[in-house]
Amino acid sequence: MSNLETALRETAARLLRDGRVALVLGYEAGSVPFRTAPAFVERAEDVERLVWNPFCTNNLAVYLPEVKSVGRVAIVAKGCDARSVVTLIQEHQIPREQVVILGLCCSGMVDVERLVPAGGSLAGIAISTGTDGRLTVESDGDRRTLAAGEILQERCNVCEYTRPPVADEILGDPAGPLAAPVEPFAVVAEMERRSPAERQAFWRDQFDRCIRCYACREVCPACYCRTCFVDKAAPRWLSRASTVDDNWMFHAVRAFHLAGRCVGCGECERACPMDIPISRLNRMLDREVRERFGYVAGLDPESVPPLGTFRPEDPDPGGHEG
Amino acid sequence: MAFLCNWCSYAGADLAGSSRMSYPANVRVVRVPCSGRVNPMFVMQCFKRGFDGVLIAGCHPGDCHYAKGNFYARRRMPLVQELLGYLGVEPGRIRFDWVSASESGRFAQVVADLTEAVRSLGPYGRPAPIASPTLPTELEPVHE
Amino acid sequence: MGAAILRKSDVMPWVRGLLASYRVVAPMVEGEGTVRYRALTSEASVVLGGARPLRSPKEHFLPQVEPLLTFRGTGTALAVAPPAKSDSATVILGVRPCDARALARLDDVFLGRKDTDSLYGARRKAAILVGLACATPSWGCFCTSVGGSPAGTEGLDLLLTDLGDHYHVAVLSEAGRLLVAQTAFGPAADADAALAEEQHAAVIARMPALFDAEAVAGKVEWEAPVWMRHAGRCLACGACSFLCPTCHCFDIQDEVTAEGGVRFRCWDTCQFGEFTRMGAGHNPRPTQTERLRQRVSHKFKYLVEEFGRMGCTGCGRCVEACPVNIDIRSVLAEIEGGGR
């Protein structure tokens, strides 16, 4: 990892020094060992701030529409993040020439909760990385050594794009599939084994916890509407109040707005302070879009998102009851 | 709730009416210019507001008055059905179909079929609204 | 005011007894492991212990959505009704010292100004707070940096300290004393009090103060670059403010149907982009820089100027919830340290 970090810093410094980009969007050390923070580096002498480790979880593409006014931007991108950048390019939120994708071959991001035993505390934790890449985690008198690959986020366990599919520069060796690959839509299939009444009850429970903080919406690079449907008064689609009904409407509509556009980065779920497994909705639609239209989000900057087009030979559902 | 496109399915429904065809009275019709105009949010709003079933009917593929509106709907509506199904809205409650201006009998049949399907599924469950449904009958002071 | 002990095996019997006269709210674990203060439904889900929950009891005093009045149009007349009463006697279990202190701060805002909030006031008056001293700080906690303590007593009627198979119970108010007069409680020995103090001291020792928060008020500067440095990555969600036990901004909206409707208030946050947007489109806080400045200044300067007390009790939820790791402790340490 540290070689990759060095290569990343050198690349960033070169791009800034040569004036090729005005800004490098990357990660820097966070306020605690298991977090990083999005970093905006504008000067070559500041590239030492940039880090690359299994805690670089944020999808930095979310900043592109806002920072593009500074000029050309380089973005440190994992496979999922690069696909988000492609989605933004497809939808004309940033011209292809204005972004330099620094694609990093990714071995997965740690699920921070799993750094400590169940019920353990992250307070006062210390993490060090050995020369073999394994993490030594010390917290509350407990000391363990493990490989980051053993405690990855769920979305990393099903990742198919560890090597960014679109990039201007690729850093690191293309990593093979992550350890113990899991069937990508297993979590969707699990829900489908439940009856409609069980699903209703499940989601009502989840949406009962939602406080409408919109963290899910704000971390999502695909949610860039200046005025979200939630904020419209005419027509007024739903209430600002956090009732189960309105929360249901918010999440159902948002999931639909992301159909064919969500790349499965999982940041919505990580950001949710109420632990709502919100990405399952997006994952289900991802599967449907693949099966019905043969389309995977964020692979080709030239293609049109699936709901913005059609084919005369699309399956004809007329006459079916769904 | 039935969203019917002005040029085909609404005309078909109108024809059913003027031909004195019988179909269940539980359907409320909203006329839209095209099935492609039907925003998925309309369908979700229906369930949020207490409707038990939704019909979206458009022109047959190739016959759309706006050339391609129904082609977009053809991609969009099945995804709405899938998403709502995943959230627990029984698939039988949402029907997306083609009804042309002359197909009055077909319209009546589609409505009858959907009504029957919804009846056997029962009312769509939804939680209580945020305030008591009992609205005041007398003027009362708000502050003590 | 005295002390008592409560054996852990006696907690649920005591609670069952309380249910005869009170509504009981306790930290309950839900699906996916989230802990939330809710009216007691299942004894098995009650969690008394561990790190402080990510949700606070604030929502029982300032609910996320609260009807203010309902109305109905009758031709040319309008009939209006007040909301249902919310003053049934309630006991809230497992309140952490930071949250009790936060409620005392909310009292400043809702009850300490010229106009008082009767809805909030009714709920406060009807509630008895049974506190739980923290044995484990969560990773964002910094109560000791803002004049608080994991064993603080401000705002509580009782404070329980976990001593293994029983709790030491500090009685802090008349309402607390009445609760303790029930058979579930036994007399406390000096040894219990000593053990409780020892535990408190041990936890406090794990949480050295990170900065001098009192000094921050005088050092907050309007034009300092510290705001942009930290706010640049802010995504304008409401996670920090909604989880914060002292944040209290709300919006008032109407939900109207053909027959009538309801006027309600719901949580709002100065971190949302449109919070200060005017009807004509002008926004005096156009970017996250201004909004972070507002949040920190409100808590550490404006409320200090108005009430002499900070609007932050160091619970650390904002630190833990922020998706982009904006850590208010870092911001405050920089300001207090003279860094701009």
ipTM of the complex: 0.93
Other C-beta atoms within 10 Å of B42: how many?
A: 17
All partners of chain C with 3 or more CB pairs under 8 angstroms: A, B
Interchain contact, C67 vs B131, CB within 8 Å: yes
What integer pLDDT is reported at residue A181 of this predicted model? 62
Pick from A150-154, B8-12, C244-248: least confident: A150-154
Phi, psi dihedral angles at B33 (to 5 degrees): -65, -30
Domain boundary among C182, C205, C228: C205
On the question of pLDDT at B131 being above 50, the answer is no
Instruction: Tell me, yes or no, whether C9 and C136 share the same domain.
Output: yes
Beta bridge partners of C168: C5, C161
CB contact under 8 A, A237 and B130: no
Q: Is the peptide bond before C67 cis (omega within 30 degrees of 0)?
A: no
- Report yes or no: A229 at the B interface, CB cutoff 8 Å: yes
How far, in Å, CA of B110 to CA of B53, rounded? 12
| The total number of structural domains that make up chain C | 2
3-class secondary structure for A162-203? CCCCCCCEEECCCCCCCCCCCCCCHHHHHHHCCCHHHHHHHH
Q: What is the pLDDT of residues A42-65, one digit of tens each?
A: 999 999 999 999 999 999 999 999
d(CA C100, CA C314): 12
| Higher per-residue pLDDT: C200 or A184 | C200
- Give the chain B residue nearest A207 (alpha carbons): B87
What is the nearest CA distance from C50 to chain B, expressed in angstroms? 33
Q: Which residues, 6 or more positions from C301, have their beta carbon under 8 angstroms from its beta carbon? A: C216, C217, C220
Percent of chain B topping pLDDT 90: 82
- Residue ranges per structural domain of chain B: 2-121
Distance CA C75, CA C282 (A): 38
Instruction: Tell which wins on pLDDT, A175 or A5.
Output: A5
Amino acid present at A298: G
Mean pLDDT of chain C: 92
Q: Is residue A150 part of a domain?
A: no
pLDDT at A319 over 70: no
**Phi and psi based region of residue A22 (left: phi greater than 0; alpha: psi -120 to 50; beta: remaining):** alpha
Which residues of chain A have a CB within 8 Å of the CB of C319?
Answer: 31
The partner residues of C250 in beta bridges, in order of sequence, read: C267
The 10s digit of each residue's pLDDT in A11-52 is: 999 999 999 999 999 999 999 999 999 999 999 999 999 999
User: What percent of chain A is modeled with pLDDT above 70?
Assistant: 96
- Element holding C90 (H helix, E strand): strand C90-95
C161 and C188 co-located in one domain: yes
> Does A209 lie in the same domain as A170?
no
Work out the pLDDT band at A257, boundaries 50, 70, 90: very high
Longest dimension (CA), chain B: 66
Q: What is the mean pLDDT of residues A243-268?
A: 95
The predicted-structure confidence for C277-297, as pLDDT tens digits, reads as follows 998 989 999 999 999 999 999
- Statement to judge: residues C180 and C63 lie in one domain: yes
- Evaluate if residue B143 carries a pLDDT over 70: no
Whether residue B136 is predicted with pLDDT greater than 70 in this model: the reply is: no
Distance CA A122, CA A115 (A): 8
Q: What average pLDDT does this structure show over C115-120? A: 93
Average pLDDT (B54-75) is: 94
Among B49, B142, B144, most C C-beta atoms within 10 A, so best to mutate, is B142
Q: Please give the pLDDT value at position B138.
A: 46
Count of C-beta atoms within a 10 Å radius of residue C336 = 21
Number of domains in chain A: 2
Q: What is the mean pLDDT of residues A61-85?
A: 96
- CB of A204 within 8 Å of a chain B CB? The answer is yes
pLDDT at residue A236, as a whole number: 87
For B16-42, what is the mean pLDDT? 94
C-alpha count within 13 angstroms, C-beta hemisphere, residue A164? 27
Task: Give residues 45 to 74 of C whose Cβ lies within 8 Å of A.
Answer: 50-51, 54-55, 64-65
Is residue B130 pLDDT above 70, yes or no? no
State the Cα–Cα distance between residues C4 and C1, nearest whole angstrom: 10
Question: Alpha helix locations (H) across chain A?
Answer: 2-17, 64-67, 79-90, 154-157, 186-192, 196-209, 215-219, 244-257, 267-271, 279-293
Q: Which residue has the higher pLDDT, C1 or C305?
A: C305
Most confident of the following: A124-128, C86-90, C232-236: C232-236
Region C49-53 average pLDDT: 89
**C316 lies in the same domain as C289:** yes
Of the segments A123-127, A158-162, A164-168, which one has the largest average pLDDT value? A164-168
Residue B139 has pLDDT above 60, yes or no: no
Per-residue confidence at A149, pLDDT binned at 50, 70, 90? confident
The pLDDT of A213-222, averaged and rounded, is 97
Q: Considering chain C, what percentage of its residues have pLDDT values greater than 90? A: 73
What residue numbers bound the domain in which A273 lies? 183-306
Amino acid A71: pLDDT: 95
Of the candidate CATH numbers 3.20.14, 3.40.50, 2.30.240, 1.10.8, the domain formed by B2-121 belongs to 3.40.50
Of C32, C64, C65, the CB nearest to A275: C32
Task: Name chain A contacts of C235, Cβ cutoff 8 Å.
Answer: 62, 215, 218-219
pLDDT value of position A178:
60
- H-run or E-run covering C260: strand C260-267
Q: Are C167 and C296 part of one and the same domain?
A: no
C307-327 pLDDT, tens digit per residue, is: 999 999 999 999 999 999 999
Chain centre distance of CA B124: 14
- Domain final residue pick, C176, C205, C234: C205
- Residue B58, burial from CB neighbour count under 10 angstroms (0-12, 13-18, 19+): buried
Express each pLDDT in C173-219 by its tens digit: 999 999 998 888 989 889 999 999 999 999 999 999 998 888 888 88
Q: State the pLDDT at residue A176.
A: 58
**B114: which chain A residues are within 8 Å (Cβ-Cβ)?**
321
Q: Decide if B68 touches A, using CB distance below 8 A.
A: yes
Contact A249 B45 (CB under 8 A): yes
Q: Which residues of B touch A246 (CB under 8 A)?
A: 48
Record: contact A123-C206, CB cut-off 8 A: yes
Q: Are residues C194 and C331 in the same domain?
A: no
Range of the domain at C91: 3-205
Contacts of C82 in chain B (CB under 8 A): 140-143
Give the pLDDT confidence score for residue C212 in this predicted structure.
86
HEC string of B12-79?
A: HHHHHHHCCCCCCCCCCEEEECCHHHCCHHHHHHHHHCCCCCEEEEECCCCCCCCCCHHHHHHHHHHH
Judgement on whether residues C195 and C248 belong to the same structural domain of the protein: no
What is the average pLDDT across A289-312?
Answer: 93
Residues in chain B closer than 8 A to C260 (CB atoms): 135
pLDDT of residue B135: 45
**How many angstroms separate the CA of residue A309 from the nearest CA in chain C?**
31
- Looking at C171, C205, C239, the residue that finishes a domain is C205
The rounded distance, in Å, linking the Cα atoms of C273 and C253 is 18
Q: Which tokens sit at C23?
A: 């509504």
C340: pLDDT strictly greater than 70: no
